[in-house]
Chains A and B, each alone.
Chain A
Amino acid sequence: MQRSSWPWRIFKALCLTAISLFFLFPILWVLLMSFQTNADILRVPPSPFFTPTLANYKALIAGELTGAGSTLQIAYMKNILNSFVLSACSVLLSLLLGVPAAYAFARYRFRLGENIAFTLLSFRFAPPLLVLLPLLLYFQELGLYDTYIGLIWVYQLITLPLILWIVRGYFEDVSPDIEHAYRIDGHSWLRSFLKIAVPLARPGIAAAALLAFIFAWNNFVFALILGSSDVQPVTVGALAFITASGIQYGQIAAGLVLSVIPTFVLALVMQRYLVEGLSLGAVKG
């Protein structure tokens, strides 16, 4: 039944290669660009052979962009740090609020429960611009404009629904009897939540946190409107590369590579949890 003829196998291999190329080529190209000078990049026709240079990375790390004859001061490393602070704090706050909420939604039926859960999810598909302008006015009034706290608060619109809905599903997969058994053993409600429910949903919590982190990291429009250079993340900071004197493709590419590294590393580290999360469902306690 599983036997397949070799023409079929070659066909499959060809298809897989084509698909991989389609998705991986842009990433590879950006990586190559980040080691090229602007002149190499703009050469026609493009050539895969060039002398690699670290100049783009050096410029980014030093914070000095040298364009056509002029030098621009940027704070790209500060932007990366901002991205990190904003995303990490947002995810942490969402975990603190979202995990207990997800547990409540998974275990208890209460009045308007489904409506509240759905409203939270709907933040995910409402266009952000809808709320941005009023928010801008509020934030200026409240003194939250251009602060970490303000942005972290707005980022909850992105991270909280994600965590709530993913983790809720994982809590629902944990047999309530396991918690009942723990309560009957004589443990309090809080202990049964902390010692049984949370550890058993841990793979789901890790996966949700990872996804929320990536979404927060990639956000552009909130930080663009509600923050200035002091708190701007990389997504907004990269705008600075478009200068009056031209577009520095090599530096943009290097900036992209640098901005992808943290999420990439995080995904690699958390991969274990993701896999564990997928396989846990198959093993009954």
Chain B
Amino acid sequence: MADLTLDSVTKIYRPRGREPVRAVSGLDMAIADGEIVALLGSSGCGKTSTLRMVAGFETVSEGSISLGGRRLNALRPAQRNVAMAFEGYSLYPPLTVRDNVAFALLRERAPRAEVASKVAEVAELLEIEGSLDRYPATISSGHQQRASLARALIRPAALHLLDEPMSQLEPQVRAVLRARIKEWLKDRGMTAVLVTHDQTDAIALADRIAVMEASRLMQFGTPAELRERPANLFVAGFVGEPPMNLVEAEVVAGDGRPRVVAADGLLTLELPALNGPLAPRPGQRVWLGLSPRHLAVGRGPQRARVVANQWLGDQTHLALELGDGAAALPLIAVAAGMLEAEPGESVAFEVEPRGLHLFDHEDDTALYHGSPDGTTGEPA
């Protein structure tokens, strides 16, 4: 339980006879004591290399990592006071699940009775009581993953590292186990870093999420920040299921207020008066981002044709199209509950001001976000 600082951490792999590969480039992160942070990205983005450097399985090429004020770079994994749940579980095959979970505590010579009660507690949390006296090879991969999680969570380490902790869990238990693990970590004030490619896990568990892509940190913020104020085009197109609709557009001067025009005038939206150095100017090419949750269907000035209506139990995903043929502009809208709309039907919709974002067409950085309270917009 301590704070973790990554200071310009870089990892360069130098395979013999080939070009060096930059896996992590100049990563700066400050993780507070008791915070849960997720490293989120697709495979090859550098998140696993980062985790392995923190754990001590990879050397740090440049920069430094410190935990609770102590520099970790030169320490062996066992000296770092870090607990880790491995993606491949890494349970000891000749030991029962119970012995696997208790292993680290027994090695530290904790009293047997205390260990037994802690094992029982964490087993109940993860619903593996029935598997405790079995061997890892005889239980399902979902239970192996839970056992691996239990082995990490039971340790009072300064830092908990969880590598794809939920990937094998049965869908029916995911939601409840996510909630319980979060409660366990928060109750004990544990600092945790989890690596995942599944943004649902990241959003549900983490206080803050570091989105990584191509060895670089794209944004480090709370789930709400990633959703409401994505720092660049990549984050906007990555976060959310579905992510933001992204359309090339142009800012034009209107009479009074500027407007943004997309798809040859198929979609025109008013912007508030913009100020500030980054604010888009009339004539500027931009990427227009429209959050699916803020495309309100059934009211408003715009009209679109329904291409598909997919009701998923507690929410409806609508595929809409503006215009016809090859030039048509596809949009995805999401609404809570069920929405009656047949494919082929024409529906009204409106872009809520808070669902509107603009990104620079050249360098992809955010220029403008609709404000969360829905009144006025603000330059990024």
A residues within 8 Å of B by Cβ? 1
B residues less than 8 Å from A1 (CB atoms): 57-59
Instruction: Give bound CA distance, A1 to B73, whole Å.
Output: 12
Q: Which of B27-80 contact A (CB under 8 A)?
A: 57-59
Instruction: Give bound CA distance, A1 to B57, whole Å.
Output: 8
Q: Which residue of B lies closest to A1 (CB)?
A: B59
B63 to chain A, nearest CB (A): 17
Which of under 10, 10 to 19, 20 to 34, or 35 or more describes the interface residues of B?
under 10
Instruction: Give bound CA distance, A142 to B59, whole Å.
Output: 73
Which 3 A-B residue pairings sit nearest by Cβ, starting from the closest? A1-B59, A1-B58, A1-B57
A residues less than 8 Å from B58 (CB atoms): 1
CB pairs A–B below 8 angstroms (3 shown) = A1-B57, A1-B58, A1-B59
B residues within 8 Å of A by Cβ? 57-59
Q: Which residue of B lies closest to A3 (CB)?
A: B59
B16 to chain A, nearest CB (A): 10
Q: Which residue of B lies closest to A2 (CB)?
A: B59
Instruction: Give bound CA distance, A1 to B76, whole Å.
Output: 10
A284 to chain B, nearest CB (A): 15
A residues less than 8 Å from B59 (CB atoms): 1
B93 to chain A, nearest CB (A): 24
A31 to chain B, nearest CB (A): 31
A9 to chain B, nearest CB (A): 15
Instruction: Give bound CA distance, A1 to B59, whole Å.
Output: 7
B61 to chain A, nearest CB (A): 12
A240 to chain B, nearest CB (A): 49
Q: Which residue of A lies closest to B14 (CB)?
A: A2
B20 to chain A, nearest CB (A): 14
A1 to chain B, nearest CB (A): 6
B59 to chain A, nearest CB (A): 6
Q: Which residue of A lies closest to B56 (CB)?
A: A1
Q: Which residue of A lies closest to B58 (CB)?
A: A1
B65 to chain A, nearest CB (A): 15
Instruction: Give bound CA distance, A250 to B58, whole Å.
Output: 57
A77 to chain B, nearest CB (A): 44
A3 to chain B, nearest CB (A): 8
B48 to chain A, nearest CB (A): 16
Q: Which residue of A lies closest to B76 (CB)?
A: A1
Instruction: Give bound CA distance, A147 to B57, whole Å.
Output: 64
B54 to chain A, nearest CB (A): 15
A2 to chain B, nearest CB (A): 8
B17 to chain A, nearest CB (A): 15
A residues less than 8 Å from B57 (CB atoms): 1
Instruction: Give bound CA distance, A79 to B57, whole Å.
Output: 59
B324 to chain A, nearest CB (A): 36
B23 to chain A, nearest CB (A): 15
Instruction: Give bound CA distance, A1 to B75, whole Å.
Output: 11
B245 to chain A, nearest CB (A): 34
A279 to chain B, nearest CB (A): 16
A200 to chain B, nearest CB (A): 26
A24 to chain B, nearest CB (A): 24
Instruction: Give bound CA distance, A1 to B58, whole Å.
Output: 7
Instruction: Give bound CA distance, A192 to B57, whole Å.
Output: 46
